[in-house]
Amino acid sequence: MNFRKYLDFRLLGFIGSISMIISEFLSWYSELSLFSIYVLSTSLAIGDSFLYLFPLICGIICLFGTSLLIYNFEYKINSVIINFIGLGFFLIFISNIIIKDIIYLSTIRIGFYFAVIGAIFVFFDILNILLIK
């Protein structure tokens, strides 16, 4: 069976961004999802609560970038730049939240893995777009 016929590697970014959006609603630490943490920290007026939405924002921006590419391959540089902006949000999230909460890394749940794998997919999607002739 010729898998290449059915598998479009441009879908990497699509799967990655969907995965990041889903991760927002899956459990990260204990049973809490990032969205629940955001709601909780907003209601308690804890600073930086908006940061907990960054994986979701990243997923939405990357989804837009990937959709643009799927819509028309001519816009590949635009798509790369949009994906890059999206990933920037994830990097900021990692550098602000993960480092602060590194002590909880041992109790990390599936949401974290979804987000990281999603980001890696988007990263490889950027490379893939730029390397395609």
Partner 1 sequence: MGHELRRKIIKIIGENDFSSFTTLKKELRVSTGTIYHHLDSLSQLIEQREDKKYYLTDLGVHAYNSLKNNIETIISPNFSSREFNSPILKGLMFLTPNQLINYTENKKLYSFLVSLIILIIGAILCGLNNLFPIFLFFGESPLNSGLNSSIFLGVFYFINFFVYALLIESICRLFYKRKENWDKLFISFGIIYFPLVLYLMIHLIFILTDYIIFPIIGIIDNIILILLQVWSLWILAYNLIVNKGLKVENALIISFLLHYGGFSIILLLSI
β-bridge partners, 33: 27
Binding of residue 70 to partner 1 (CB under 8 A)? no
State how far the Cα of 133 lies from the Cα of 129, in Å rounded to an integer: 9
Show the binding pattern over residues 31-60: x = contacts partner 1 (CB under 8 A), - = does not. ----------------xxxxx---------
Binding of residue 94 to partner 1 (CB under 8 A)? yes
Show the binding pattern over residues 101-120: x = contacts partner 1 (CB under 8 A), - = does not. -x------------------
Whichever of 29 and 123 has its CB closer to partner 1, that residue is: 123
State how far the Cα of 1 lies from the Cα of 60, in Å rounded to an integer: 34
Binding of residue 8 to partner 1 (CB under 8 A)? no
| Pairing state between β 32-33 and 27-29 | antiparallel
| DSSP-derived 3-state class of residue 23 | helix
| Torsion of Cα atoms, 124 then 112 then 35 then 24, to 10° | 30
Which residues contact partner 1 (rule: CB under 8 A)?
47-51, 74-78, 80-82, 84-85, 88-89, 91-92, 94-96, 99, 102, 123, 126-127, 130-131, 133
